[in-house]
Amino acid sequence: MRVAVVQQQNGADPAANLNRSMDKIREAAAAGAELVMLQELHRSLYFCQTEDTSVFDLAETIPGPSTDALGALARELNIVLVASLFEKRATGLYHNTAVVLERDGNLVGLYRKMHIPDDPGFYEKFYFTPGDATFNTGQSGFTPIRTSVGKLGVLVCWDQWYPEAARLMALADADLLLYPTAIGWDRTDDPEEQARQLDAWITVQRAHAVANGLPVLVANRTGFEAAPDGDGGIQFWGNSFVCGPQGEFLARAGEDGEQVLLADIDTGRSEAVRRIWPYLRDRRIDAYGDLTKRFRD
């Protein structure tokens, strides 16, 4: 199966960002992609650098204008599409939400980001309520979404650092792990620290592929976005990638510049890999009870 992730630089105009994303989706489909994923919050600048109540005006309902437009495009191109939106679930209740649109344009599932960061430049707890359950299922938030191209274990950005999230998706029989992302550097960090951060980010996600025997798709944004208050900003580090079930790179984008990254996934390799590395067989589930604790005192 050919897949594509879109690495994009965003501007201040949401309509222009969406149109550019749609152009890149068309490019991916023209190259044979059956599954296309956009980066986190692809309609706007990364607004979580500051806390500003006016930003809630960017949020939209799901279904809503973006899912209507992207659903029509998925139907036209006959692809499965994963997009990331700022969801207004109710007045005063907002989520960072990934949606999955089928080949017929229908919304078949959504995933509301479960792990919400709150760090300098990433003040997401001000904007987003943690996810609870998947769309129309009532099941755990870590539940794959069934599509014509497989069961998609969709997670979002900060979720990518947590082995528990990836493992729970694998235990629920996900075929792929997908991470729409918006992450980058504080430009005041020295080059050595920046290199360590990027390497850690790539390594932990490749480790999810290895530990679960699943391909991983990662779409990150690129380019510099100044903070709205003029104090600092984020240099998004790109490096979107696709890796196979042993963590092997199938495709990797650069740090700078927009790119439609294409990769061919052998959908039978996860079965073959799990036969020689049977991690699920050898898990000691009888000894893992303390994982439900915040910390072992």
48 included as an active-site residue = no
Residue 190 lies in a domain: yes
Range of the domain at 213: 2-292
Q: Could you tell me which of 152, 137, 148 has the C-alpha nearest to residue 215?
A: 152
Q: How large is the greatest C-alpha to C-alpha distance in the chain, in angstroms?
A: 56
Domain holding 63: CATH number? 3.60.110.10
Tokens representing residue 244 in the block: 């196979």
Confidence band, pLDDT 50/70/90 cuts, at residue 137: low
Residue 11 lies in a domain: yes
Tell which phi-psi region holds residue 121, choosing left (phi > 0), alpha (psi between -120 and 50) or beta: left
What is the mean pLDDT of the segment spanning 133-142? 63
Catalytic residue among 40, 87, 124, 225: 40
pLDDT tens-digit series, residues 16-59 = 999 999 999 999 999 999 999 999 999 999 999 999 999 999 99
The total number of structural domains in the chain stands at 1
Residue 125 lies in a domain: yes
Residue 168 lies in a domain: yes
Residue 139 lies in a domain: yes
pTM: 0.96
Give me the sheet containing 249-252, strands edge to edge: 145-147, 150-154, 176-180, 216-219, 241-243, 249-252
Residue 74 lies in a domain: yes
Catalytic residue among 24, 48, 124, 157: 157
- For residue 115, the SS3 value is coil
Residue 297 lies in a domain: no
Residue 224 lies in a domain: yes
Catalytic residue among 87, 88, 113, 124: 113
